[in-house]
């Protein structure tokens, strides 16, 4: 049973997960690349039950660890310290930020398979990568709630996925199991299940960037039940990030 959630990375997704975990009665230990002394204000804002540590201590002290750093920094994750742990991977591949990764552009690997290759002794589960940080916190609901949303997971370890399912249930979400990490592309950027289904329809005529951003920050979100998410994931079409970049350019 998860009693302590570890976070490697203290950004927006990490912050949302920390607050949900604390509300669920879990302890939270958080780390970043700059050292625990830089997180004093962050854990103070989160409140009782949260503490800062080094990355290695976070890996050792947590029951489940969330890796929520830019994908380009995944090789800095401490493989030795994370050996034997279940690691939730929230990371997505954004080439404009992370640099190009030939294995991902060619679709030889998914981003989570790349992370698992680095963390050979850990059990990686893709999770919490297809929802934005605001809706992740806003849409959380108790078990059995009629308006409960679901999140996809993927992993090569059945036991690790069971751990992830129990954790996400405690945090306020149902889950849809995609299968192995090789199927995790179905929830990645540029797929139908990515971010948009958790938002209400954008108001007609809203085109200016600052107006779109204001709407994004203020809108309450739209519940996405497991049955609808299942359809979106099933019907996903895979494209290479390189092709997506070319179309966007």
Give the pLDDT confidence score for residue 2 in this predicted structure.
Answer: 78
pLDDT tens sequence across 121-147: 999 999 999 999 999 999 999 999 999
- The top-level CATH class assigned to 4-248 is alpha beta
Q: Which residues neighbour 208 within 8 Å (Cβ) at sequence distance 6 or greater?
A: none
Q: How far apart are CA 173 and CA 164, in angstroms?
A: 11
Q: Is the pTM of this model over 0.85?
A: yes
Give the pLDDT confidence score for residue 239 in this predicted structure.
Answer: 85
In this predicted structure, the answer to whether residue 120 has a pLDDT above a threshold of 50 is yes
Confidence of residue 246 (pLDDT cuts 50, 70, 90): very low
Q: Which residues neighbour 20 within 8 Å (Cβ) at sequence distance 6 or greater?
A: 136, 137, 140, 171, 172
User: Domain map of the chain by residue range?
Assistant: 4-248
pLDDT tens sequence across 186-241: 999 999 999 999 999 999 888 899 999 999 999 999 999 999 999 999 999 998 77
In this predicted structure, the answer to whether residue 71 has a pLDDT above a threshold of 60 is yes
Q: How far apart are CA 58 and CA 4, in angstroms?
A: 10
Quickly count: other Cβ atoms within 10 Å of residue 230's Cβ. Answer: 16
Two tokens, residue 159? 């036991």
pLDDT tens sequence across 17-64: 999 999 999 999 999 999 999 999 999 999 999 999 999 999 999 999
Confidence of residue 1 (pLDDT cuts 50, 70, 90): low
Confidence of residue 88 (pLDDT cuts 50, 70, 90): very high
Quickly count: other Cβ atoms within 10 Å of residue 129's Cβ. Answer: 25
Angle between helices 12-23 and 158-171 (to 10 degrees): 70
Q: How far apart are CA 156 and CA 159, in angstroms?
A: 9
Give the pLDDT confidence score for residue 248 in this predicted structure.
Answer: 37
Max CA pair span of the chain = 52
Q: How far apart are CA 189 and CA 71, in angstroms?
A: 13
Q: Name the burial class of residue 91, with classes exposed (0-12), middle (13-18) and buried (19+) by CB atoms within 10 angstroms of its CB.
A: buried
């Amino acid at each position: 049973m998860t009693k302590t959630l570890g976070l490697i990375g203290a950004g927006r997704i990490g912050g949302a997960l920390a607050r949900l975990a604390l509300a669920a009665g879990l302890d939270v230990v958080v780390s970043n690349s700059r050292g625990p002394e830089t997180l004093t204000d962050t854990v103070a804002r989160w409140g009782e039950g949260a503490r800062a540590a080094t990355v290695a201590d976070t890996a050792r002290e947590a029951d489940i660890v969330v890796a929520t750093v830019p994908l380009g920094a995944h090789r800095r994750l401490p493989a030795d310290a994370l050996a034997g742990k279940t690691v939730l991977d929230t990371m997505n591949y954004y080439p404009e930020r992370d640099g190009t990764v030939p294995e991902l552009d060619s679709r030889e690997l998914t981003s989570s398979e790349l992370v698992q290759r680095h963390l050979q002794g850990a059990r990686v589960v893709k999770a919490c990568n297809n929802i934005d940080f605001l809706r992740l916190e806003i849409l959380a609901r108790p078990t059995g709630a009629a308006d409960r949303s679901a999140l996809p997971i993927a992993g090569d370890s059945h036991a690790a996925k069971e751990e992830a399912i129990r954790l996400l249930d405690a945090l306020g979400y149902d889950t849809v199991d995609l299968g192995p990490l090789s199927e995790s592309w179905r929830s990645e950027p540029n797929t139908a299940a990515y971010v948009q289904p958790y938002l209400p329809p954008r108001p007609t005529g809203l085109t200016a960037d600052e107006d779109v951003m204001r709407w994004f920050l203020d809108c309450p979100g739209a519940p996405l039940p497991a049955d609808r998410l299942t359809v979106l994931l099933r019907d996903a079409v895979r494209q290479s990030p390189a092709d997506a970049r070319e179309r966007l350019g």
